[in-house]
Chains A and B, each alone.
Chain A
Amino acid sequence: MCPLQAGRQGVGAARLTLIAALAAAIATPARAQQPIIGLITKTESNPFFVKMKEGALAAAQHDGVRLLTAAGANDGDNTGQVTAMENMIAAGAKVILITVNDSKAIVPAIRKARARGILVIALDSPPDPVDAVDALFATDNYEAGMLIGSYAKAMLGSRAPKIATLDLFPGHPVGAQRHNGFLKGLGLPAPPKSSNELGRPPQVVCMADSYGNQSKGQAGMENCLQKDPDINLVYTINEPTAAGAFKALQSAGKEKGVIIVSVDGGCQGIRDIASGALAATAQQYPLKMAALGVDAGAAFLKTGKRPTGYINTGVTLIAAKPAPGVDGKDVRTGMALCFGKRD
């Protein structure tokens, strides 16, 4: 990844979005009196964050607050998020909701904001240390991994697992947590939740990076199948990657015998479960995260009450075939709760 490009794009993209939001804010004098909350997501393009923004906007309208939004240029863009935070505070935001791209690098900016009395709530991904923010509304990505890991274990039964993992890219905490949680759920030795390194027990015969991207996921799966055609279990960082993996398995004629699991719970992913392209996913709730965050922010602005601590917005296993001994929900439930295009 090119830091220079990311930085320039991050600043550019964050600024553009913010200016547009500010222009809209200024153009409506009646609402200029409203208190302002800022939402900064990781990227603009992931449907997860698109849904989060929708949820936040709806909650903001309901709570009578003005919402400013911005995002980093790509996964990992910290500079863009810092700039967005500074600009939002300058615009008068007293509450910042943020899904952090870089859990460590964002902390100084958060601390500076809180020193000025701004309420900062982290959504979806925790900063490091987690008490840098006032509160965290998130899902536990490690738990999400564990859910699909235990599902896979139950579905494998007596078969020995031969695993391919299609990860995000090196060093990303969410990528590491989901991956390691998956291994733990499978009953294999795995690094703890705090680690950013990807565990690699001998049952994992192949690891590749997908950057969360369908075509790279496909290429990674193809290469892994070349390495070991007998892979029977595939962990994927998110559902587009899983779609790519399925395509590769299909081309190799192996899609029937391989279990693919993923995390996210987007509507496309649930559709893939219904069609059999994906065995199971751990569904997360960006709408709920955002709404809770906005509500807490609005409450703070009205009453001065600061939310604290960690509030788990929940993760649910969605699968077409229920696994013995594993708690999960069916496709219909998944479809009702999913984010993205519904039909």
Chain B
Amino acid sequence: MRLRVPRPATLGPLLALAVACGFFATQSDRFWTGDNLSLVLQQVMVVGVLAIGQTLIILTAGVDLSCGTIMALGGIVMTKFAAELGLPVPAAIAAGIGVTTLFGAVNGLLVSRINLPPFIVTLGTLNIAFALTQLYSHAQTITDLPGAMTSLGGTFHLGGTSVVYGVVLMLGLYAFTWFALRETAAGRHVYAVGNNPEASRLTGIATRRVLFGVYVMAGVLYGVAALLSVARTGVGDPNTGQTENLDAITAVVIGGTSLFGGRGAILGSLVGALIVGVFRNGLTLMGVSSVYQILITGILVILAVGTDQLSRRGAVA
């Protein structure tokens, strides 16, 4: 089996990441150290997992504006259940992930059965999840969590640096999703539904089930992201997740997945998330104002979408 060279759409983000890392390494000798790189991985951990769900949805030509706020709700549910209701930690975590999965299912139902545009549906769920989070938490962070709840924030030693367990979980989820999308019929059907939903229907693919499944899977992943967020900060924060809505979409787009559906690589989203994290970290190390970080993120998004379009135009006969 020959090794397939990644297409320009996925090669581009990797190159951008490499160039960024190279640049920051020259600007600060603290950048390219095991500790700092481990730090960047921790910092992108939460958005990284959100981006997996977002990638699945965007591959079907949908979009999910509610991912961050659903995650926040899941985080509040699991921390409140554990810290205030005294539920055992696994049950509390299951409850949190259950809530996020439920929201994913609602999104999926409205998109696949009622045929509402995903942008509108998730815009609505975004607000509903946000309001429910505020109401249930009374706008207070939940502290004094049982130790087991934050265990994914713990570290182990790998070649001189400490690596957070949550990062390993994130990488594992990416590997699993990469495998499923590449090697299973269900994964290929996700691409088919995004690329040509009518063709999928006509060739016998259960299009509605694929769409529903993608949103439910994403809901589960948002719950895992909530657990990672709780593990990292040590609290249940009702105000988290608001910028993560767009951060996840940004990571997916920079990673080369097309918003029109049917094209993209899951690992690209990891690269996209890393690019944003690397810039944030690198610019802080350089002492550059954060305004430039926002500017650069915007430029990267345009570049990513532009190169994807251009590479496609070159490939089509």
Contact = CB atoms under 8 A, between A and B. Distances in A.
Interface of A: 1-2, 5, 8-9, 12-13, 16, 44-47, 50, 74, 169-170, 205-209, 211-216, 218-220, 222-224, 226-227, 240, 243-244, 247, 268, 271, 340-341
Interface string B110-146: 0000000000000100110010001000111101000
B43 A222 contact: yes
A268 B143 contact: yes
A243 B138 contact: no
A206 B240 CA distance: 23
Interface in B271-296: 280-281, 284-285, 287, 289-291
Nearest to B140: A341
A240 B130 CA distance: 18
Contact of A74 (B35, B242, B246): B242
Given A206-B284, A206-B287, A243 B235 contact: yes
B243 interface: yes
A224 B284 contact: yes
A15 to B, nearest CB: 11
B237 A240 contact: yes
A170 B289 contact: yes
B39 A47 contact: no
A290 to B, nearest CB: 15
The interface centre, meaning the residue of A2, A74, A227 with most chain B CB atoms within 10 A of its CB, is: A227
B290 A44 contact: no
A341 B285 contact: no
A341 B42 CA distance: 31
Nearest to A223: B284
Contacts of B240: 213-215
B25 to A, nearest CB: 13
A274 to B, nearest CB: 13
A135 to B, nearest CB: 27
A223 B130 CA distance: 29
A76 to B, nearest CB: 12
Given A170-B290, A226-B30, A268-B140, A45 B233 contact: no
B246 A247 contact: no
Contact of B141 (A2, A209, A268): A268
B287 A244 contact: no
List the 7 closest A-B pairs by CB distance, nearest first: A223-B284, A209-B290, A219-B43, A227-B285, A50-B139, A47-B139, A170-B291
A227 B30 contact: yes
A141 B42 CA distance: 34
Contacts of B242: 74, 213
B39 A214 contact: no
Nearest to B292: A170
Given A12-B127, A223-B284, A247-B233, A214 B35 contact: no
A216 B46 CA distance: 12
A205 B39 CA distance: 19
A46 B28 CA distance: 37
A179 to B, nearest CB: 13
B189 interface: no
The binding surface of chain A is classed by DSSP as helix
Given A2-B246, A5-B246, A227-B30, A215 B140 contact: no
The interface centre, meaning the residue of A2, A46, A216, A226 with most chain B CB atoms within 10 A of its CB, is: A226
Contacts of B139: 44-47, 50
B13 interface: no
Given A208-B290, A215-B240, A223-B284, 18 more contacts: A12-B127, A45-B130, A74-B242, A170-B290, A207-B284, A207-B287, A211-B243, A213-B242, A214-B240, A215-B232, A223-B43, A223-B285, A227-B30, A227-B285, A247-B233, A268-B143, A341-B138, A341-B140
B249 to A, nearest CB: 10
Contacts of B35: 226
A208 B291 CA distance: 10
B235 A222 contact: no
Nearest to B43: A219
Contacts of A247: 233-234
Nearest to A217: B233
A212 B238 CA distance: 12
Given A13-B127, A209-B290, A215-B233, A45 B280 contact: no
B291 A215 contact: no
Interface string B227-255: 00100111101111011001000000000
A49 B37 CA distance: 38
The interface centre, meaning the residue of B123, B234, B238 with most chain A CB atoms within 10 A of its CB, is: B234
Given A47-B139, A47-B140, A227 B28 contact: yes
Contacts of A223: 39, 43, 280-281, 284-285
Nearest to A212: B239
The interface centre, meaning the residue of B30, B130, B242 with most chain A CB atoms within 10 A of its CB, is: B242
Given A170-B290, A243-B235, A268-B140, A215 B46 contact: yes
Contacts of B151: none
Contact of B287 (A1, A227, A271): A227
A258 B243 CA distance: 29
A8 B42 CA distance: 32
A214 B143 CA distance: 12
Contacts of B200: none
A226 B35 CA distance: 8
B177 interface: no
Contact of B237 (A2, A16, A214): A214
Contacts of B290: 169-170, 207-209
